[in-house]
Structure 1
Amino acid sequence: MNRRWELDLLRGFMLVMMFTTHLPTRFSDKLGQPFGYVSAAEGFVMLSAFMAGLIYTGRAQKAGIPAMKKAFFRRVTTVYACHATLLLFLFSAIAMLGLKLDQPALTNLIGFYLSDPWAALPGALLLIYNPPLLDILPLYILLLFASPFVLAFAMQRGWTGIFVISVALWACGQFPLSQGLYEMLAQHTGLRVPFSETGSFETLSWQFLWLFGLWMGAATAQGRLDHRKPFPRALVVGAFLVVLIGLVWRHTAGQIPVPGDAESLINHLFDKWRLGPLRMLNLFALLVVIMHIGPRLSERLPRIGFLEKLGSASLPVFCMHLVVVLAALSIAGEYRPGRPLLLDVLMMAAGLAALYATALVTLYLDREEQQRMLAARKEQELKRAGRRQATAAGAAKSDLPT
């Protein structure tokens, strides 16, 4: 499958947004959620799901559903290996560095591990204990693991039943249902990981966003979105208004819609971790706007190689962004007013350089691997052709009169 450069560019842009938001500098608050009450995490999850639906539906059409499932599980294994490596890096080198330099930002981040390592380490490897910053990959792993079964069902029976269940689960995710179920499970199994340490992302809510992206990718692979009708004018105008309101509100009030009132109903409706209804409205309005202007915009959009390369190597770049952010937290700590501007600029520049270097190395290794596979395939074809010629020569010789 030929790469779609505009999708790589979008993924690269979202990776940069996540990095600048997570890196502890004076820029993180200003660059967080720059387009309204929508963060890079939502866009990255939806786009990752779209790519999965696009690629693996094509695999199923070409080689069958069993081959699609096998490819999915290989990807799950790769992502899990990356997550486990990051955990071990955090619990060893980063933890020692943070303790030695006495950085509260880092020690608070892994407070449960420091207090109960024998429960934290196996809990983390089982995707139960998920420290901040390292809680999106476990969500990705779980959703990726379920995806081949969802795609196989959808290809045979359609998406209607899947979305009915998905919307119901999203609605359940707006309430503390997960916490109640988890605490009941912990009570009967003796789990020592508190619910507050299982990660910020509410799986019941975020599965809907993943399934929506998966459906869009599958529909694109099957050609069902190639001749999509334009959105109604009223929908486009309404979406532009919602996006404009969210944009002005975010940059007037800040990243929290009603600052100083954590229990405000409005804040719950915009909640990121549960994907509250108003947040979903803002997100889908932005999606309608992007889909409306996207085709014309992509014709005029400049090719930004830096972002495209980051997007082409998204998993290694995402992992490197976490390595850089964790190292910054353990060495420099959280941002405090008075820190020299030059230091923040240097941290940002060095981090972006590390992400770009990771992308270049990854793409180089991928090309080398593809060339080795191509050479091995050609060698096998030559051997098969030689065996066929030998068989044909032997048959011809046996047909000669004696």
Structure 2
Amino acid sequence: MNRRWELDLLRGLMLVLMYITHMPTRFSSMLGQPFGYVSAAEGFVMLSAFMAGMIYTSKAERDGIPAMRNAFLARALKIYACHAALLLLLFTIIAALGISRDEPALKNLIGFYLEQPLAGLTGGLLLIYNPPLLDILPLYIVLMLVSPIVLERGLKHGWRGILAVSIVLWAVSQFAVSEKMYDAFVTVTDLQVPYKETGAFETFAWQFLWILGLWMGALTATGQMKNRKPFSRALITACLAFAMPLLIWRYIAGQVPVEGESIINHLFDKWHLGPFRLLNFFALLILIMHFGEWLKAHVPRLPFLQTLGAASLPVFCMHLVAVLLALSVYGESTPQRAVWTDVMLLFGGLACLYVAALITLRFDAEARPKTRTAPG
């Protein structure tokens, strides 16, 4: 399966935006959520699901459903190995460095682990304890494990029921159902990991973006997306009318729509994918799909971003390593820190991401003729 450069470019862009947002510099707040009240995480999850839908649907049609299941499992195990390695790095070298320098930012990030090391390590390896920054890969692993069941069902029986269930789960997630279920689980098992330490991403909410991307990727692989009717002018106008004011307001009000506690902020909540946030995402998605061919013809290919996107998992892991090292040595961003230090952190880390991508792609290129494995 040939790579689609525009998807690699978009994933590379999402990776750079996540890196800039997470790296503790003065540039984080101004470049976080640059397109409105939608973050790079939404785009990255959707793109990852879309590519998984394309790749594994093609594999199912070519090699059969069992081969597709095995490919999903192998990918999930690879992601789990990366997550476990990052956890061990955080709990050993990064933790020792941050404690020796007495950096509050790093100590706060792993506060539960420092209080209960055994419960933290065990819970982390079981994907229950998820410190900040290390909570998206566990979500990714869970979604990858569920995907072969969903994809097989969709290919055999259609996607209408799957999408309906996914929407219901998203709606239920807006009412703290996961927390109540977790509390019940803790009562039965006497688990020592508090709910707030299980990660910021609400799985029942974020599965909706994944299922949507998986569905669209499967339709693309089977050629059904080619028959999609063009979006109406009224819909495009409505999307522009919704997205543009939010884009402007984001740079007037900042990354939180309204100061203080407000129902509006809950409607734009990132972790639960609040309704207005989801509408903002859909408006941007429809606009990108509508103007996609024009953008492909006029946007420069930007090899730097394509390279990052083509090696997304190693690049994502390297971005976490760079951010954790920065937090353990420099701590949170402060106005007193010299500008050149922030510039060094930002561009030094980007260079590391690019080197990680180049090394990964070189190894993949050398291994491919020997193993003759399909991409993905």
Q: How would you bin the TM-score normalised by the shorter chain?
A: over 0.9
| 1:317 and 2:348 correspond | no
Report the counterpart of residue 268 of structure 2 in structure 1. 270
The answer on 1:154 being equivalent to 2:154 is: yes
In structure 2, the partner of 1:327 is 325
Which residue pairs with 2:212 in the alignment? 212
Deviation at 1:146, TM superposition (A): 0.2
Give the count of matched residue pairs.
373
> 182-191 or 314-323, which moves further after superposition?
182-191
One-letter identity of the residue aligned with 1:138: P
SS of 1:226's equivalent in the other structure is: helix
Partner of 1:353: 351
TM-score by length of 2: 0.98
Q: TM-score, normalised by structure 1?
A: 0.92
Q: What secondary structure sits across from 2:149 in the alignment?
A: helix
Alignment match, 1:192: 192
Matched, 1:290 2:278: no
For 2:185 and 2:249, the matched residues in 1 are separated by 40
Moved over 6 A (4+): none
Q: Distance in 2 between matches of 1:214 and 1:246?
A: 27
Separation of aligned partners in 1, 2:133 and 2:146:
23
Question: Superposition pairs for residues 48-63 of structure 1, below 5 Å?
Answer: 48-63=48-63
Q: Distance in 2 between matches of 1:47 and 1:246?
A: 22
Give the whole-Å Cα distance in 2 for the aligned partners of 1:126 and 1:73.
Answer: 16
Displacement of 1:59 in angstroms is: 0.2
Which digits, 9 at most, give the CA deviation of each residue in 1:249-296, with x for residues without a partner? 11110000112x13x100000000000000000000000111111111
Answering whether residue 298 of structure 2 is matched by residue 307 of structure 1, we say: no
In structure 1, distance between residues paired with 2:25 and 2:371: 43
Residue of structure 1 in register with 2:258 after alignment:
258
In the alignment, which residue of structure 2 is the partner of 1:339?
337
Residue type at the aligned position of 2:197: E
Aligned to 1:363: 361
CA distance in 2, matches of 1:163, 1:291: 20
Letter in 2 for 1:237: T
> Structure 2 counterpart of 1:42, which letter?
E
Aligned twin of 1:379: none
Q: CA RMSD in A?
A: 0.9
Indicate the SS of the match to 1:303: coil
Which AA in structure 1 matches 2:153? F
Gaps of 5+ in 2: none
How many Å separate the matches in 2 of 1:229 and 1:295? 15
Shift of 1:370: 1.1
- Identify the residue that residue 17 of structure 2 maps to in structure 1: 17
Aligned residue identity for 2:120: A
User: Using the alignment, how far apart are the partners of 1:253 and 1:150 within structure 2?
Assistant: 40
Displacement of 1:221 after TM fit?
0.2
Match of 1:169 in 2: 169
Which letter does structure 2 place at the counterpart of 1:347? L
Q: Distance in 2 between matches of 1:154 and 1:182?
A: 29
Q: Distance in 1 between matches of 2:229 and 2:220?
A: 14
Deviation of 1:210 after TM superposition, in Å, equals: 0.4
**1:372 Cα offset (Å):** 2.5
1:380 is aligned to none
* 1:145-178 alpha-carbon deviations (Å, 9 max, x no partner): 0000000011111111111111110011101111
Aligned partner letter, 1:201: F
CA distance in 2: counterparts of 1:338 and 1:331, whole angstroms: 15
What does the per-residue CA deviation read over 1:57-82, in whole Å, with 9 as the maximum and x for residues that have no partner?
00001111011001110000100000
**Bigger Cα Rg:** 1
Aligned-pair identity in percent equals: 60
For structure 1, the residue ranges without an aligned partner over 5 or more in a row are 377-402
1:373 and 1:42 mapped to 2: Cα distance? 33
| Partner AA of 1:316 in structure 2 | P
Q: What is the alpha-carbon distance in structure 2 between the residues aligned to residue 97 and residue 316 of structure 1?
A: 23
